[in-house]
Structure formats: C-alpha cells, structure tokens
C-alpha cells in the first residue's frame, strides 16, 4: 500500500514512439501507479486530438510523426509539454527524449526506463549506414552515460540490460516486461495442436520471419499444411512487400494471414485461439540482451513455443520445458519442430501447461509492480519536491 504522503502526486510518463496502448507503459506501469493513488499522466501517440481519460489516466495525445526526422525534430517540444504538466516525477521511455527532458526538468526527478539495449539496437538500425553505426554507438555510449548520472533512477527491462547501468548509477531496478495476470490463469482444454504458427510484434528481418516462411515451404513438401498468422507493425511497407514476394516464390502465400497492427486486447484474443508461438529471433543486436515480450504472452496463453537457441531465450523457456529450441538460421530445424508438435499433441500440451505454470508462479507483472512502486517511493522520499506547486491545475494540453 502506498504511503499516504505520496498519494495524488503527479506522475508523467512521456514517450514519442510508443503508442498509448503500449503494454509496458500504459497497461502495466501507468495502470499500476494509478491504482496506487498517483495522479498519472501519459504523453504518447494516440488518435484523439484532445486529452482524455482512460483507466483513470490522463492521456495527452501526440500526433503520429510523418517520419523519423519529424519525431526527432519535435523532441524538445514534447519534453516541454510534459514539464508544463508540473509533475512530481517524470518517467522517460525514449532515448531521444532523455536529454531534452533532463534539460527542462529542473528539480523534478527523472526515471530512465530502458526497454532495450540501445547500444546494440544502434548496430542493427537499417537506416544508419553500416560504416556509421560504430560511431553512433560510441557517441550514444558517452552521451547516455552523462545523462544517466543526472537521473533519479533507472528501470531496466532485463538483467543483462541493467548490468550496463549499475556501473553508472546506484539506483538501477530490473522491472521485467512480464504480462499481467488477467483473472484466473486457466489451463487450455486438452485438444489437438492447431496447425497454426503465430507471430505477434514488430515485423522486422531480425525476427526470423523469412526463415519461418521457408520452413512452411518445407512442410508443404512433406504434405504438412501449416498457416502462419502474422500480427504487428512492419518496420516498412517495403519489407512487408518483400515478405509477400518471398511467400509467393515459395508457393505458400495462401498459408500466410496478416492481421495488421492489433490493439493489446485484440492481440491477446488472437493468441488465445491456439497454435504454436514462434519466437525465432536471429542472433545479434538487442536480441542478445532482451527477453521477448511475446514469449511471455504466448506462455500466458498456453501456447507451446518454438524459440531461438539464444541464451536470452533459453534461460526463460529451457528450464521449464515450455517449447523446442532451434537454430533460427536453419529452416529445416524449425520445420522439424513444428511437425513434431503437430504429431505429438500431448507433448505440445505439456509444453503449453509448463508455460502457464511459469507465468502464474514467476513471470507475471504482479511480482514486478512491487519493485516499480518501491522505486517510486525511494525516489520521491529523497527528492527535492520544492518545484511542486501548492495548487495544480489539470494541465490538459494538445501536444504536437
């Protein structure tokens, strides 16, 4: 229970790239803080043009940026808009916002929420020329180290990500991106595994989707018909078109269904229809440090997993027996794993049940939210709150 002296303190989460429906930012962190009695505001991309309230949280909509340059160009404007809300604490979710927010925060404490290993992310950004990536990485390494020292705390999504910041800051908390437990976690009824492979999330080359497509063509040659259900936002329309061309070339275009970008509730509904959860991320970049959110979501839905033999994947699914590890570069291994699950329903069922048990006992937000609230209490108890006005208005504003 939050101490009464912290109740009604104004918190502002600010994000320039994530949508208002983001699982970590809105559904986990903001909802948790609102339930603990904070006055929670969220600056994020949303379709409405005017501020509104959702789940008790005041949303200040950002218009969708036309391109990456526009998003970067408005970072100072977004930061100032968040400061105008006169929060008692600012919680930042994008690298490009960290500097501008700190520059205008004054005595207001700032939490840097590190979703990904951004030093690794920079090395895999397709829009940065390869020769420039090491320079960009080195520049951000130096710049971020300076900025982090001015933060009140760091929230890291994984232990591997947190390791970098512990040498820079003395208040680093691992707040994993585990799913919420919505009602009672139920075991699915025992039935044949559906011949469906499910992928949800960002559709990008490093997610191993091309290799999955090739595995479907191998299965088709074995007279094993499997459908791939795709849902998520592609990194570009060109990449999506390339995937369709690849599926056409492999003769499996009619075995791929694309649902577009789905809301969180729609994504959960799709996952709960059953099938096999695909988490075949390729090695390299942030995939070496991140715990894929979709892995936990698939486990919560009772789906058996086919996952990459990366250490970050194996440390989650391996010890509990939630699926089959594969070399993501080897479509034949992926095809063999899919066929094994389809021909051994009891095995697949046990894997799905193992995932549910792990989510219920360990990999869930109920445990992580305790750490989030403690981080807030620790920061606010030591912060100089002299910047807080005795009387605060609603601070609703239309953001650019």
Report pLDDT digits (tens) over 295-338.
Answer: 999 999 999 999 999 999 999 999 999 999 999 999 999 999 99
Would you state the structure tokens that stand for residue 82, as one six-digit string?
A: 């968040």
Q: What is the mean pLDDT of the chain?
A: 90
- pLDDT at position 306 is 98
Residues 378 and 330 in one domain: no
Residues 114 and 216 in one domain: no
Asked whether 377 and 5 are in contact (CB, 8 A), the reply is no
Q: Write the DSSP assignment of 17-77 as a string of letters.
A: EEETT-IIIIIIIIHHHHHTT-EEEEEEE-S-SS-EEETTEEEEEEPPPSSHHHHHHTHHH
Length of the chain: 400
Task: Examine residue 190 and state whether it is found in any structural domain, yes or no.
Answer: no
Inform me whether the pLDDT recorded for 250 exceeds 60.
yes
Residues 218 and 151 in one domain: no
Residues 116 and 201 in one domain: no
For 301, the domain range is 196-361
Nearest CA to 48 among 56, 38, 39, 58? 58
Residue 251 — φ and ψ, nearest 5°? 75, 25
Query: Would strands 172-174 and 256-258 be described as parallel, antiparallel, or unpaired?
Result: unpaired
Task: Examine residue 85 and state whether it is found in any structural domain, yes or no.
Answer: yes
Residues 125 and 215 in one domain: no
Residues 110 and 65 in one domain: yes
Q: Report the domain count for the chain.
A: 2
Nearest CA to 122 among 136, 111, 112, 110? 136
Residues 21 and 141 in one domain: yes
pLDDT tens string 46-64: 988 899 999 999 999 998 8
Task: Examine residue 394 and state whether it is found in any structural domain, yes or no.
Answer: no
Question: How confident is residue 384, by pLDDT bands cut at 50, 70 and 90?
Answer: low
């Amino acid at each position: 229970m939050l101490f009464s002296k912290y109740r009604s303190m104004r918190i502002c989460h600010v994000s320039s790239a994530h949508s208002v429906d983001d699982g970590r930012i809105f559904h986990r962190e903001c909802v948790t803080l609102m339930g603990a009695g904070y006055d929670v505001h969220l600056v994020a991309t949303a379709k409405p043009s005017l501020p509104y309230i959702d789940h008790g949280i005041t949303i200040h909509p950002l218009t969708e940026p036309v391109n990456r340059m526009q998003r970067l160009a408005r970072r100072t404007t977004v930061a100032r808009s968040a400061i105008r809300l006169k929060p008692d604490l600012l919680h930042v979710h994008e690298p490009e916002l960290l500097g501008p927010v700190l520059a205008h925060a004054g005595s207001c404490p700032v939490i840097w929420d590190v979703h990904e290993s951004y030093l690794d992310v920079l090395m895999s950004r397709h829009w940065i020329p390869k020769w420039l990536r090491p320079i960009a990485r080195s520049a951000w390494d130096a710049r971020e180290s300076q900025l982090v020292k001015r933060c009140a705390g760091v929230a890291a999504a994984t232990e591997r990500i947190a390791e970098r910041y512990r040498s820079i800051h003395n208040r680093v908390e691992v707040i994993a991106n585990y799913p919420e437990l919505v009602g009672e976690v139920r075991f699915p009824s025992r039935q044949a595994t559906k011949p469906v492979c499910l992928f949800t999330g960002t559709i990008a080359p490093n997610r191993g989707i091309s290799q999955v497509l090739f595995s479907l063509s191998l299965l088709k040659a074995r007279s094993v018909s499997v459908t791939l259900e795709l849902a998520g936002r592609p990194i570009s329309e060109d990449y999506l078109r390339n995937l369709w061309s690849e599926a056409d070339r492999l003769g499996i275009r009619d075995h791929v269904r694309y649902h577009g970008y789905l809301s969180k509730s729609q994504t959960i509904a799709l996952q709960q229809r059953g099938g096999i959860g695909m988490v075949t991320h390729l090695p390299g970049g942030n995939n070496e440090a991140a715990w894929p959110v979709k892995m936990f979501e698939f486990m919560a839905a009772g789906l058996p997993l086919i996952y990459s033999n990366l250490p970050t994947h194996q440390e989650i699914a391996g010890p509990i027996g939630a699926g089959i590890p594969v070399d993501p570069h080897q479509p034949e291994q992926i095809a063999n794993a899919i066929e094994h699950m389809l021909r051994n329903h009891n095995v697949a069922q046990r894997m799905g049940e193992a995932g549910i048990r792990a989510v219920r006992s360990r990999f869930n937000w109920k445990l992580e939210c305790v750490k989030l609230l403690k981080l807030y209490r620790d920061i606010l108890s030591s912060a100089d709150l002299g910047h807080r006005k005795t009387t605060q208005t609603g601070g609703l504003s239309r953001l650019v």
